[in-house]
Amino acid sequence: MKRIMPVFLIILLFCCTGCQKEKLTVSDFMFNTYVSITVYGEENAQTAREALKLGHEYEQIFSRTIPDSDLSLLNSQKYLNQANNDLYDLISTGLYYCELTDGALDISIEPLTSLWNVTAENPAVPSGPDIQSALSRVNYKNIFLSNDGSISLENDASIDLGAIAKGYIADKIRQFLVENGVSNGIINLGGNVLCIGSKPDGSDYHIAIQNPQDTQGTILTLHVDGMSVVTSGTYERYFISDDKLYHHIIDSKTGYPAESGLCSVTILSEDSVTGDCLSTACLVMGKEDALALLNSLDNVYGILIDDKMQIYYSDGASDFLEK
């Protein structure tokens, strides 16, 4: 049995030829990954440090493993009266994408993600009966939001926001930075990359996508300006048992790691929570359904890589390739 620790799915290439302002990066460890915020100009250094603190505040809200987090309280009590606004908003967003993707994204996946526990010290394949028992509790339609701000869970439902929280937090951090005068920068939450404007010299940021078969290398480089780039991959967190790979992206319809034929999905969008939701959902859906969904959406682009390293683009996605 072998376990590979999490790695960044997206590698930032900070090429700043001609930039006049000094580049400053602050970083920390949260959400079981490394988080960094890069800004330009010494006058923005303190703002970046304050923005980084926001991450810890949101972790206290959205984590399912911190016992006294807002989400943990909801999962244990099955009801929160006048829930935290951010928790309410993120669950509402999650439910929208659950519906849009017909459950390919399902934020009630917690019974299965806890059962598989891919990042455990000694992960193992659960028994069939245990998987079926957990699967019976997974259905996003058992999550209810009331107009008074309360959240309730029925039929022993339990929520895991791990697939979408980083995107929401990245958007909030960008909002904070912009409101405090930062006009150029980049936020990286363990591979969720969100750009603020362009580089100070007006050029685009260059973001390289990891090669699924060689995570020390890259397979594509993108140029983006003011956008989010999020990748989900089967090679990020996994273990091997009896020569079979079991990754962390669970199919809510089968109870097992998704076997869609895709190993990597990158989403480019205006906000990061959209990319977070869709990258996971599209990897579960498979190439045909994912491309059909992406092509139906405005200002959202996808790059899909299958298990044979064939690359597929939604409409307009290839325009972001570095020439």
Distances (CA, A) of 150 to 126, 250, 258, 283, 303: 34, 28, 32, 32, 37
Residue 275: per-residue pLDDT:
98
Specify the higher pLDDT residue, 36 or 13: 36
User: What predicted TM-score, i.e. pTM, was given to this entire model?
Assistant: 0.91
For residues 198-226, give the mean pLDDT: 93
Q: Is the pLDDT of residue 181 over 80?
A: yes
Distances (CA, A) of 32 to 15, 69, 121, 191, 251: 28, 15, 14, 12, 22
Each residue of 120-149: pLDDT tens digit?
A: 889 999 999 999 999 999 999 999 999 999
| Beta-bridge mates of residue 188 | 36, 193
Residue 15: per-residue pLDDT:
43
Domain ranges of the chain: 2-43+183-320
Q: Which of 29, 281, 6, 32 is nearest to 163 (CA)?
A: 281
Question: Residue 298: which residues within 8 A CB-CB, separation 6 or more?
Answer: none
Each residue of 60-117: pLDDT tens digit?
A: 999 999 999 999 999 999 999 989 999 999 999 999 999 999 999 999 999 999 999 9
Residue 6: per-residue pLDDT:
40
CB of 38 within 8 A of CB of 185? yes
Residue 322: per-residue pLDDT:
83
Q: Which two tokens stand for residue 172?
A: 């909030």
Residue 21: per-residue pLDDT:
75
Q: Is the pLDDT of residue 215 over 90?
A: no
Statement: 2-43+183-320 belongs to CATH 3.30.70.520 = no
Rounded Cα distance between 84 and 61, Å, is 8
Rounded Cα distance between 9 and 58, Å, is 22
pLDDT band at 205 (very low <50, low <70, confident <90, very high): very high
Residue 20: per-residue pLDDT:
61
Average pLDDT of every residue of the chain: 92
Q: Count Cβ atoms below 10 Å from residue 208 Cβ, excluding itself.
A: 17
